[in-house]
Amino acid sequence: MKRSFPVEFVYQIIALLVAVIFVHTLYVVWVRPEATQILAEQVARVQADPDYVPERSVFVIVRDHEQEACFILMLWALAIMGFKGVQTSKERRLLERRLVPVSEGTRILPRDVREYARQIQALPDLEKRLLLPRSLLAALHRFGATQNIQDVSDTAHGLCESESERLESELSMVRYIAWAIPSIGFLGTVRGIGEALGQAYKAVAGDISGVTQSLGVAFNSTFVALLISIVLMFLLHQLQLRQERLILDTESYLDEHLIRHLNVS
């Protein structure tokens, strides 16, 4: 049996590597140098003017390693969802085509199954792997074998249901990433609070700069992680909605363009 090349797996690995390289390069070249410069300027101004209140900077908020990891995972999840979205669009474009050319009032008899099946089998290999051609072929073959319309309906809808479960399971990695990002943010919170407690003796002596900087790490990492998680979950639900609509529209297509035309006599 010919095994298909794991395109999606390779794509995910490459997407992760690209995300790591891109985000880390951005942090090394731009984000951390800018954050360091801004912090140095703020320290100098505070020393010169005790009443000066430092402004919050985006570079300072996102400069730590936890935020970097969150952005890497965000880009990886977006790449995976983009791949799924493109696949869903390809599936949906097939619904606009008449793969079983049956005019209104025409009946499909068991002896006609091979003729209609050959038209679907003539599609390019990439299209034949999609849900609609597979469902049509399964339904036609079932009708030719059993000559039972109810069996055809059960087969077609069962295939759509299994496809829905497959699509649901393939989003498990994105769900894991959406869960992992806030967890990484909380790790930053723990690290920041731990560093702040480690510098408590300086605060007792009157120098609270180290404590406030560590607390900034704690709260900034959680803030960024939760914000990214909110965006990812919204996009994930939109993708799930598109996939669910695809399954429902495919079932409607099968009923409208094939099953209602079947006739055993």
Partnered with residue 262 across adjacent β-strands are 108
pLDDT at 2: 46
Tokens of 150: 């109810």
Kindly give the confidence (pLDDT) of every residue in the chain, 265 residues in length, as a single tens digit, with 9 standing for 90 and above. 345 568 899 999 999 999 999 999 999 999 999 999 988 888 788 778 877 777 878 998 899 999 999 999 999 999 999 999 999 999 999 999 999 888 887 899 889 999 999 999 999 988 999 999 999 999 999 999 999 999 999 999 999 999 999 999 999 999 999 999 999 998 888 887 777 667 665 555 555 555 566 566 778 889 999 999 999 999 999 999 999 999 999 999 999 999 999 998 7
CA 132 from centroid of its chain's CA atoms: 23
Domains identified in the chain, total number: 1
pTM: 0.89
d(CA 48, CA 20): 40
Q: Is residue 1 part of a domain?
A: no
Mention every residue, 6+ apart, whose C-beta is less than 8 A from residue 185.
66, 70, 221, 222, 223, 224, 225, 226
Of 61, 68, 31, 72, nearest to 223 (Cα)? 61
Q: Is residue 2 part of a domain?
A: no
Q: Are 133 and 99 in contact (CB under 8 A)?
A: yes
Q: Is residue 247 part of a domain?
A: yes
Q: Are 63 and 35 in contact (CB under 8 A)?
A: yes
Residue 96: exposure state from Cβ atoms within 10 A (0-12, 13-18, ≥19):
exposed
Of 79, 81, 88, nearest to 13 (Cα)? 79
Q: Is residue 133 part of a domain?
A: yes
Neighbours of 62 (CB within 10 A): 20
Domain housing 12 = 7-261
Dihedral sign from CA coordinates of 119, 85, 167, 256? negative
